[in-house]
Structures are given as C-alpha cells and as structure tokens.
A and B are shown apart, each in its own frame.
Chain A
C-alpha cells in the first residue's frame, strides 16, 4: 500500500514532494499543535484530516486537538460565524461570557500541551479566546481564519479582535478578508484534496449511473451549478442564463446543493428556483445531503461546463473542484472566483445572466476551446490549489515565523 505522500506524488510530481521534505527538515524538533472545534464535518476538519497525517509522514511532530462545548457555546460561535460574514445581529452578553468560560475550560484542560508547543494553530473563532488563558506560552500562536470576513459586522469583529490581536500572526484566505491587526497577516488560499471522494477519479460505470439516477440525457450538453440555495449564489440568474441558451442549444441544467431545510431563507430561495424552473424536464434541481461527495463529484464530471454565478463569494472551492475535473468555469466576477477563473484560460468571468449565456453558447459551439480550457484548468489547479501547495505554505509560514520577521530568511 502506497503511503499518502506516494499517492500525492503520483498527482503532483516528485519535485513537489521533495520540496515538502526539504521544508519539513527545517522544522526538525518542533512540536506543532492544531486546535479546532470538530473532527467531523466542515471544511476545516476536512483539511486537517489530510494535513495532519501528511505532517506525520514528513516526520513533523504534530498534535490535533478539538475543543468541547455545549449547545449554547456552539449557538454563540454560529452567530459569530454569521456576523463575521456580514449578518448584522448582536450577540447577547450572556452568550459571549459563556463563550469565554468554555474557552477557559478547554485551555485549562489542554494547558500543558499548549504551554510547551512550539507552534499553535488555532482555527476559526470557536477556540480563539483560549490564548487569554495561556499567559506563559512558550511558542508562537497563529490564528487561522477560514471565514470570509471581507465585510464583518463590526461590533462582533471588534469583540473577537481583542483576542486575535494577542496572537503572533494570523492566516487569511484572501487579502480582501484580512483585517487590520498588529502582527503579520499571512495569505494562504484554501485547497482541495485530489484523493478525496469529492475529487478522486470515477469509473465510467459510476458516471453512467449518475446520468440514469438523475434522468439526464447523456447525448445532450449539461451545465451545472453546485451550491447552496442562497441569493448570493444567484441560482435564479443561472436559470435565466439557461433559458437564454436553450433558445439556441438543447442544453440541460443541473442545480445541486446541500439541504436547506434548517435555513428559512434557503428554503425560500429553493422554492423560488423551483417556481422559476416550472415544469421544464431539462432543469434538474437536486437537494443533496451535505456528505454526498460522490454524487457531487459525478455531477461535476458529467457536466460540459460548470457555473458559479455568485454575486458574492468567499474563495469558491466548488470552482476549484470543477476546474480540477477539467471543466471550464463561468463564474461571477467576485471574491476568490477571480483568483481561479482566468478569462479565456480557465473559463470566463461574467456579471449578468446574459454574459453567462453568451459564454455558455460560445463554449458549446467551440468544443476545441472548451477542451483546451478544461485541460488548462486542471493544470492550473494542480499547480496552485491542491493540498500539497497548502501544506507547503503552512510549513513555509512556520519557518518564517520562527525566524526573525525579515523579508528574506536564508537558512544555508
């Protein structure tokens, strides 16, 4: 059985893995601790489930701990999450005091580990306040923000900022998200894992099953948007773009996303999209369980073009996933989509349903360009947005932060 590193080596090449070994050597003797709030579910846990074993294989002494909390604590951190993404809701003081108490309890439980660690990565707001309870920390503490904080609700950000400013550094996914802080604010975009269920290769049989299961005609083009039913993702704009194309080409549309029943607005948007699609048998609106990764993978693979027509977007990992599958992406000209969709190379950036329709027609007509852009898209992700690049940047950050804060660190 090949080791994880050997499996990645087949995807990214020997020299990329060699470089990880070289960087790991510079961290010899260090103990790194990662803290987040859960081992299951969500993008952070997904990333850590891969990054931690990779670090172990590279011989880096790494520990992953999660914090424990009750329903009130997670209600508070959910509110924090939403407000940092722009919702204007005040969090009651009582909940904030509870948040602090739970952080203190967890810090007390993990005190020895946290005091001795050379590097502590704290992921997202849930464990951010732990730093206050570890005054005699020996190592460097880094706060990793995975959230889109481009327009936070200020009162909540100010509250959290009081904890975050005590860290030695922070890490953000995009420069648009980074807030003013008195320490280095590293920029590390997220990544996808090419070996995960969501991204690994699929057999022809699995793809044939996907056509049959969702009653999609394999002989006609398919355009797809994978996203929550959220107004910022503009699913109604996608339906409109589809209609504009349909007048010329017998295209099929798939709109697929996670369940929205616990989100009143999501349900409302879902119903609007259903109404907008009417009884058109070529529009497939699919509500999928959040962990149905193989289905998402198959839907992306059977598509000719993938859309992400968001009007506001964090990084947009669904874009990365589609590009990795060799699909050009027609995406909204916003946020992290701009980093990934390069006009005429990996897809097109658009601002309106009309713009999206035009580009869909162009690519379906010009199959040669579609194929060429798809190939470029895959190589683009291979070089820039796979987990190995993510890990390289984490390792580089650790080397940088444990040396003097100079522009150039020469370890020769």
Chain B
C-alpha cells in the first residue's frame, strides 16, 4: 500500500479581461492573444458553474456560436472539442482557432455578422488547498465521496486529467495501486464520463460506483 489519499479542494474565481468579441472574426483575433487561462475558464470553468442534464453545448464558445451568432454548424463543431484530450492549453487554443477559421472560410456573411450578444473573455484563478483529510483504503474513499465538496470532486476527477499522469483522474489512479482486487473498481471509475452531468450528479455517480463495488464483496 502506498501513500494515503490526500483530499484536496479547490475554489475558482473568475476575472474579467475587458476583452470581448462582437463578431466571429473578432473572436478569432482575440483568441490569438488572450491568456491560456481564458481558454481554461471557457472550457473547464463551465463545469463549476450552473449546468443541466441536457445542455445543448458543452463550452462557452459553442454556446455563444449558437446563442449569439445563431450558427448551429459552428456550435456543434465547437461543442465536439474535448478539452481533456489536450495536455497543453496552447494546443487547445490551436484547435479552437482552426475550427473557427474553417467556418469563416465556409461563409461570406458569418465572419462579419454582428452577434446578438457579446462574447466576454474571462480568465480564472484557482486556489487549491489541503482539507487535511487522509484516507487509507478504497473503502474509506468510497465512504467519503458523498461528503466531498464539489470543488474536491472537480479537482480530483476533472482537473486531475491535466496533471501527470495525463488524462487520468486521481481516484482511479490511486485505487489501481491496491492491486488486482481493485482493478475492476479502477476501471469503473475511469469510465464515468463527467462531461454531460453536473458536479453534484457526478459525485452521486462516483459514490454509486464505489458502493456497487463494496456490495459485490470487493475489498
């Protein structure tokens, strides 16, 4: 057995940049120069904000393409960009710009059409702190999950994918250190898709995975 699981928490605070876009061309131009923390906020920050069970689009850029520009094609393409696939935010920025430029090339009017609402670029600061809670076994972790803050769930299950080992959540990574008995549990945790549910629901789903494993006699 390795180190105990150290429960951490995080709180995110939004910061206005004063930059905004009225058209798709302006959005593309601003995307070239805004800090990567804006990219982070508009893709990932949304997960810490209001969310419903069937959101039409998954990130702020896609939502603006739909609501501000009324362009479903672009909205769908932008919504398909999965931020967890990009280890570097610069790569994610590049993908975003490519997608927008592709759409700009396809339409004569869209690049200059004034949106019905502005896109405001927002960046964020994340404060990560130690809750001092330490858990020694996967069972203890499972029992603790329903009591974790949404910030903890975000930090360990979503934000973790941007830290080594890349693309992996903290829960399944830690559980997998307990040998074959817990391999199935680690697998079940890792296949939970966080992208279409609110953090509260994600917490419930993770708790169910741990609970199902315990009831099947997992150790």
Using CB atoms and an 8 Å cutoff, list the residues of chain A in contact with chain B: 14-16, 18-19, 22-23, 26, 172, 175-176, 178-181, 184-188, 338-339, 342, 345, 376, 380, 383-384, 392-393, 395-397, 399-400, 403, 405-412
* Contact of A383 with B127 at beta-carbon distance under 8 Å, contacts A15-B149, A18-B149 already known: no
Closest CB in chain B relative to A279 CB, distance in Å? 39
Q: Would B149 and A380 count as touching, CB distance under 8 A? A: no
User: Are A384 and B129 touching (Cβ within 8 A)?
Assistant: no
- In contact, A172 and B16 (Cβ under 8 angstroms): yes
B125 near A14 with CB under 8 A, answer no
Asked whether, in the complex, the Cβ of A376 is within 8 Å of the Cβ of B9, the reply is no
- Cross-chain contact of B13 among A26, A180, A384, A393 (Cβ < 8 A): A393
Choose one: A15, A186, A395; the contact of B147 (CB below 8 Å).
A15
B50 sits at the interface (CB 8 A): yes
User: What is the CB-to-nearest-CB distance from B212 to chain A, in angstroms, rounded to a whole number?
Assistant: 22
Known contacts A176-B118, A383-B50, A409-B127; A19/B151 CB under 8 A: yes
Which chain B residues in 1-44 approach chain A with CB under 8 Å? 8-9, 11-18, 20, 35, 37, 40
CB contacts (< 8 Å) of A175 on chain B: these are 14, 16, 20, 120, 122
Cα(A39)–Cα(B16), bound, Å: 29
Q: CA separation between A185 and B128, bound complex, in Å?
A: 20
Nearest to A409 among chain B residues (CB) is: B127
Q: Which single residue of chain A is at the shortest CB-CB distance from B119?
A: A175
A184, B123: Cα distance in complex, Å: 10
Q: How far is the CB of A334 from chain B (nearest CB, A)?
A: 9
- A380 nearest CB neighbor, chain B only: B50
A-facing residues in B24-83 (Cβ within 8 Å): 35, 37, 40, 49-50, 52
- Answer whether A16 and B127 are a contact pair too, CB < 8 Å, given A186-B13, A186-B15: no
Closest Cβ neighbor of B67 among chain A residues: A338
A-B contact count (CB 8 A): 104
B9–A19 contact, CB under 8 A?
Answer: yes
Give the distance in Å from the alpha carbon of A18 to the alpha carbon of B149 in the complex: 8
B143 within 8 Å of A (CB atoms): no
B211 at the interface (CB under 8 A from A): no
Q: A16-B149, A187-B15, A383-B50 are in contact. Are A22 and B9 (CB under 8 A)?
A: yes
| B176 CB-CB contact with A under 8 Å | no
Interface CB pairs A-B, < 8 A, 22: A15-B149, A16-B149, A23-B129, A175-B122, A176-B118, A179-B18, A185-B16, A186-B15, A187-B14, A339-B50, A342-B52, A384-B50, A393-B11, A396-B11, A396-B12, A399-B127, A400-B127, A403-B127, A405-B125, A406-B125, A407-B124, A410-B128
